[in-house]
Amino acid sequence: MGQREMNGTAELSATENAERLLPLLKEYAAKLAALSERAVETLEKFLSPDSNSRGLVQYVTPDRNAVTPAALEAGRLICLHDMLETPVTDLSREASGLIEHGALEAHLRAELKFRLDELEEHGRYSVLIATELASYLTAQKQADRIRKLIKESGRYKSPF
């Protein structure tokens, strides 16, 4: 019921598509929120002399450019953000299309719009925080070394 047969595959109704998208929108919003929280904690390690990265400014000097744990974590978080960007964009487009063109009941359209707005807000913030992490890596003279490690890990290229 609610499915139409098309070329041997079932085509879902707008309502069924929306109901399948809602948990994904929630899940990805939560992933971006958690990533942003971890990124803020990592930024605090760069900024706080009382954190686990204590003495970071003294430790990283032009003649001694060893990678710090905070720098490694920053690089990892930037890569995770980069990896999430495409699926988040795809989900957003699909949800937006349903909101604009789908035959949805008002309450389902409203919830889908709310979840889409929530996901997009987390997405905008995660872009800002990933950019800040990259800036701090550069300021601490860690960016080139982290980029090299990212490439060595098997990734085609560094996202920053």
d(CA 128, CA 124): 7
d(CA 50, CA 31): 28
Segment (H or E) for 11: strand 9-11
Do the strands 4-6 and 9-11 form a parallel or antiparallel pair, or are they unpaired? antiparallel
129: tokens are 């925080």
Of 132, 128, 158, 135, the residue nearest 145 (C-alpha):
158
Q: What is the pLDDT of residue 19?
A: 96
> CB neighbours of 127 closer than 8 A, spacing ≥ 6?
81
d(CA 108, CA 103): 10
Instruction: Tokens 């953000």: give the residue.
Output: 81
d(CA 36, CA 77): 9
pLDDT in tens, the chain (160 residues): 455 555 556 788 999 999 999 999 999 999 999 999 999 999 998 887 654 444 444 444 444 557 889 999 999 999 999 999 999 999 999 999 999 999 999 999 999 999 999 999 999 999 999 999 999 999 988 999 999 999 999 998 899 9
Q: What is the pLDDT of residue 9?
A: 66
10 Rama sector, left if φ>0, alpha if ψ -120 to 50, beta otherwise: beta
Q: Are 143 and 53 in contact (CB under 8 A)?
A: no
pTM: 0.81
Domain ranges (residues) in the chain: 14-152
Query: What would you measure as the largest C-alpha separation in the chain, in angstroms?
Result: 69
**Options 1.10.3210, 1.10.150, 1.10.287, 1.20.58; which CATH number does 14-152 get?**
1.20.58
